[in-house]
Amino acid sequence: MKTYLEKLINQESLTVDEMKNATNYCFTDDITDTEIAAFLTALRIKGETANEIAGIVQVIRAQSELSSIQLPNVMDNCGTGGDRSNSFNISTTTAFVLAGAGVTIAKHGNRSISSKTGSADVLEHLGVSLTFSKEDTEEMLQENNIAFLFAPHVHAKLRPFMKIRQELGLPTIFNLIGPLTNPIELESQLMGVYKRDKLETIAKSLHQLGRKRALVVNGAGHMDEASLAGENHLVLLDEGKITSFTLHPNEVGLPTYDNKAIQGGNAEENAKILLSVLRNEASPYLDTVLLNAALGLFANGKAASIQDGMEVAGESIASGAALKRLNTLVEFSKSVTREAM
């Protein structure tokens, strides 16, 4: 570890293999908390590269038993968090719209970190289990197009890192890589980031991690979701080619709203918002989900354009298909709980 720390302190970036070696060492009994803290801090000060992000993610993913699940064209639409917007659970609600449109979604998420309510908090309130087994997860992906992967459950071996992150109380590489560590092999991804200057870096990491197609977005107001407040900044990864562009909601027929219009609350309040969207009740929440779902469908290739994605997303909600995916996940959770009793 000393060699890697010296490189980082000297502002030298690590290769993918060096990053994998350093991360693997962090999982051994020989590592100390001080070394891990120094490693995370040195990375942060230097600034994480695409190679370093890809290296640590590859090791973390391999630690989860879910990494052996092999299904075609699986997608995730998780954001990094950290934008401090206190928005409702946009990506979680959007996930059901994508699933209702026929996209297989392995929804990776956690409890609240920088917002009032995380994806796990709102789904747990709605009755979704946070402790699906590998077999349960695979069944839901195949039969329901969506399963929820609770990060602490699927990444149990990361607890030493989490302890040190809490003690440091500072942003680290983990504030960027959460959505990348989904243990299931993904072909496509919609990923929101709270740092606009990391859009291209994340896109390059996604390419190294095997994504065929992906969209990385930093929304108006520096949200880690697409926003209706103005111009959104995006980077498209398509078979290795990276293209940057901007998108204003007016370009796809949506009105503009201040980001305050989509703020959420506690788990109960956000659950009500989520259900109102899936029931097709007109609101800034619904329009925000339509925009993000359109981007997800375009990222996945299910829609040829973002405008086409708007139509497909609208149909997923209006037909009741999106709400059905949620209801099926809740009922399955109940059945799993009964079997365990």
Q: Is 113 annotated as a binding residue?
A: yes
DSSP characters over 225-244: S--SSS-EEEEEEETTEEEE
Q: Is 53 annotated as a binding residue?
A: no
Asked if residue 297 belongs to a domain, the reply is yes
Q: What is the mean pLDDT of the chain?
A: 95
Q: Is 20 annotated as a binding residue?
A: no
Q: Is 225 annotated as a binding residue?
A: yes
Q: Is 238 annotated as a binding residue?
A: no
Give the torsion sign (CA, 204, 208, 214, 219). Answer: negative
In the chain, helix, strand, coil percent, each to 5?
A: 55, 15, 30
Q: Is 21 annotated as a binding residue?
A: no
Asked if residue 92 belongs to a domain, the reply is yes
Asked if residue 4 belongs to a domain, the reply is no
DSSP bridge pairs for 147: 106
Here the CATH number for the domain that contains residue 300 is 3.40.1030.10
Q: Is 79 annotated as a binding residue?
A: yes
Q: Is 114 annotated as a binding residue?
A: yes
Report pLDDT digits (tens) over 61-71.
Answer: 999 999 999 99
Backbone phi and psi for residue 75, each to the nearest 5 degrees, phi listed first: -130, 160
Mean pLDDT on 54-65: 95
- Band of the pLDDT at 140, cuts 50, 70, 90? very high
Mean pLDDT on 257-276: 96
- Band of the pLDDT at 160, cuts 50, 70, 90? confident
Q: Is 90 annotated as a binding residue?
A: yes
Split into its structural domains, the chain has a count of: 1
Question: Residue 150: in which H helix or E strand, if any?
Answer: strand 146-150
**Sequence-distant (≥ 6) Cβ neighbours of residue 193 within 8 angstroms:** 79, 80, 176, 199, 202, 216, 217, 218, 224
Asked if residue 6 belongs to a domain, the reply is no
Q: Is 91 annotated as a binding residue?
A: yes
Asked if residue 46 belongs to a domain, the reply is no
pLDDT of residue 169: 86
Q: Is 227 annotated as a binding residue?
A: no
DSSP bridge pairs for 38: none
- Band of the pLDDT at 162, cuts 50, 70, 90? confident
pTM value?
A: 0.95
Q: Is 83 annotated as a binding residue?
A: yes
Question: Residue 208: in which H helix or E strand, if any?
Answer: helix 199-208
Q: Which two tokens stand for residue 255?
A: 């009105």
Q: Is 87 annotated as a binding residue?
A: yes
Asked if residue 323 belongs to a domain, the reply is yes
User: What distance in Å separates the CA atoms of residue 49 and residue 252, rounded to the nearest whole number?
Assistant: 33
Asked if residue 266 belongs to a domain, the reply is yes
pLDDT over 90 percentage in the chain:
89
Mean pLDDT on 197-224: 96
Q: Residue 147 belongs to what domain range?
A: 71-152+186-332
**Sequence-distant (≥ 6) Cβ neighbours of residue 265 within 8 angstroms:** 116, 117
Please tell me whether residue 30 adopts helix, strand or coil conformation: coil
Q: Give CA separation, 84 vs 195, 234, 237, 264, 308, in Å.
A: 12, 20, 27, 12, 31
Q: Is 89 annotated as a binding residue?
A: yes
Report pLDDT digits (tens) over 5-27.
Answer: 999 999 999 999 999 999 999 99
Q: Is 107 annotated as a binding residue?
A: yes
Asked if residue 228 belongs to a domain, the reply is yes
